[in-house]
Amino acid sequence: MLKEDFHPSDIPAKPGVYVYRDRFGTVIYVGKARNLRRRMSSYFQPSRRATADPKLRSLINSIEHWSYETVRTEDEALILESRLIKSFAPHYNILMRDDKRYLLLKLDRSERFPTLKAARVKKPDNADYFGPFPQGTALRSTLDFLLTYFGLRSCKDSEPNEETRKRCVKRLVKDCCAPCIGAVTREEYLSRLEQALEVLHGDIAPLKEVLKQRMQEAAAACRFEKAARLRDVTANLEAVFGKKNRSFLRPELPERAPGNAGVIALQEALKLPTPPEHIIGFDISNILGTLAVGSLVAFAGGHPDRDNYRRFRIRTVGQSDDFAMMAEVLTRHFSRLRDENRPYPDLVMVDGGKGQLSSAVSALVKLGIPPLPVIGLAKRNEEIYLPGRSEPVILSRHSAALRMIQALRDEAHRFAITYHRALREKRLEHSLLDDIPGVGEARKVQLLRAFGSVRAMRGLTPEALKARVPGLPLETAVRVASTLAKPEKNGSSEAPSSPI
């Protein structure tokens, strides 16, 4: 939205992230707020320019466009703000030193006795990282508890020398299982580690039950300080690893559609008879034809109309053919509009160039849909293709019309990718490995990370499986190899997903 279009009553009083852009459309500042209405309004008060320091005054004077994204909690706002800042490196965030980093948990499996450590930077070192976690104090406290509870090492040296082992307080008070002196085998240590990882993946119910029992025992013995500490540990455990806190946000840019100004500009640019108040956009997402999906997003009055978003599982196209997939999605959507006598959109956009556009138009003609404007947006040079024209329409990079179409295309792409990713994760959740005794959720994830798929594990010996997966007991490897050696059912090694 343009700066002059800002009205506090249009902004929800909810947690979220706001984005400011300059007149060139460049992101210049990303901020978070517990109350978006109150925070964003403070930038547009006339008195603020007079009282602001030079840096803030410069930011306010540079704002040309604004957008926001609401989230459920302040923690989600913290994470989304951090990721957007790292993705776009806005000038004024760097100037005002807002590029903060939240804590991660790091696990380096290349160590003989790997353990969990706090980290602020995710490095390309082949280690596993979990997070980020905005509750830094709660995370550090919970990490200390987990290391003690499961007896994992907390020393800085992965291979402590004799002098370090002698002075190890954790070993003396039995807070560490002391694998470095052979008190436990490497397999036993890795088993403890996998139990800790189950907690990181959200399986905290058994641990909470243990803590509850210990807290009750401490209270019954009038050890109230210990009971209070256990209560705090339980609260931190829920705050950091509870289900509601495990959906770490991805760096998606909030809405930047130019509103009604974009609608008018688009009508003029495409020479449409009426303003395109109702626009829909389509995109396809797949990996070599597998788990192919389509997305439909709708804009009304230049803004996302999320109630009319739709997603599709591709049913009739078995190979990687984006043109045929696009035709299927449009056929299914417009046949429903036709059969239910519902209104058609003012403008249809497909993500792609001449090929996708041709497929879309052919699908509409076959259905007998009355003529309506259809365009294709090719990403490389942001060229707009129209039916019957060999040369694309090229708009100014700064035009409201192009920004409108880009926002529609980007939202369709985001919606398709999100659905495709969800299906991939669901497919990983339901695999043949679930039926093998001794293979829990953490072990399954470990196997799939090491080999990529169940299919890649077929035919391998137990020794080959064990060599690739640290800590995998030989008896478990034998069961995995034996199960995967059996013939596939229905031609698939993983449970099929029903089309939606």
Residue 243: is its pLDDT beyond 70?
no
Q: pLDDT band at residue 315, thresholds of 50, 70 and 90? A: confident
Residue 496: is its pLDDT beyond 60?
no
Residue 289: is its pLDDT beyond 60?
no
The pLDDT of 381-407, averaged and rounded, is 87
Residue 276: is its pLDDT beyond 50?
yes
Pick the most confident of 264-278, 289-303, 308-322.
264-278
The superfamily CATH assigns to domain 260-425 is: UvrC, RNAse H endonuclease domain (3.30.420.340)
Read off the tokens for 345. Answer: 């959109």
Q: What is the pLDDT of residue 495?
A: 31
| Distance between start and end Cα atoms, the chain | 35
CATH of 430-484, one of 1.10.3470, 1.10.260, 1.10.287, 1.10.150: 1.10.150
165 or 23, higher pLDDT? 23
Q: pLDDT band at residue 249, thresholds of 50, 70 and 90? A: very low
Q: pLDDT band at residue 365, thresholds of 50, 70 and 90? A: very high
Beta strand 347-351 with 278-287: parallel, antiparallel or unpaired? Answer: parallel
Residue ranges of domains in the chain: 3-95, 103-245, 260-425, 430-484
The one-letter amino acid code at 384 reads: I
Q: Which of 1-15, 249-263, 394-408 comes out lowest in average pLDDT?
A: 249-263
Which of left, alpha, beta for 274 (phi over 0: left; psi -120 to 50: alpha)? beta
**pLDDT digits 0-9 by tens, 102-126:** 788 898 888 888 889 988 877 888 8
Separation CA 266–CA 268 (nearest Å): 5
Residue 497: is its pLDDT beyond 50?
no
Q: Taking the alpha carbons of 180, 184, 188, 191 in that order, is the dihedral positive or negative?
A: negative
Q: pLDDT band at residue 51, thresholds of 50, 70 and 90? A: confident
Pick the most confident of 137-151, 158-172, 279-293.
137-151
Pick the most confident of 127-141, 194-208, 261-275, 332-346.
332-346
Q: What is the pLDDT of residue 323?
A: 92
Q: What is the pLDDT of residue 29?
A: 92
Contact (Cβ atoms closer than 8 angstroms) between residue 106 and residue 117 = yes
Q: pLDDT band at residue 39, thresholds of 50, 70 and 90? A: very high
Residue 277: is its pLDDT beyond 90?
yes
pTM, to two decimals: 0.42
CB burial readout 401-419, b (16+ within 10 A) else e: bbbbbbbbbbbbbbbbbeb
What rounded mean pLDDT belongs to the chain?
82
Q: What is the pLDDT of residue 381?
A: 76
**pLDDT digits 0-9 by tens, 55-102:** 888 888 899 888 888 888 887 788 788 778 877 778 887 654 544 567
The pLDDT of 35-54, averaged and rounded, is 85
Q: What is the pLDDT of residue 123?
A: 81
Residue 369: is its pLDDT beyond 80?
yes
CATH of 3-95, one of 3.60.10.10, 3.40.228.10, 3.30.70.20, 3.40.1440.10: 3.40.1440.10
Residue 248: is its pLDDT beyond 50?
no
Residue 329: is its pLDDT beyond 90?
yes
Q: pLDDT band at residue 490, thresholds of 50, 70 and 90? A: very low
DSSP codes, 147-215: HHHHT----S-SS--HHHHHT-HHHHTTSS--GGGTSS-HHHHHHHHHHHHHHHTT--HHHHHHHHHHH
Is omega for the bond preceding 251 within 30 degrees of 0, making it cis? no
Percent of the chain clearing pLDDT 90 (strictly above): 23
> Of 152, 151, 119, 150, which is closest to residue 136 (Cα–Cα)?
119
Q: What is the pLDDT of residue 174?
A: 67
Point out which residues pair with 66 in neighbouring strands. 20
Residue 256: is its pLDDT beyond 60?
no
Q: pLDDT band at residue 311, thresholds of 50, 70 and 90? A: very high
Q: Which of 57-71, 163-177, 342-356 comes out lowest in average pLDDT?
A: 163-177
Residue 484: is its pLDDT beyond 90?
no
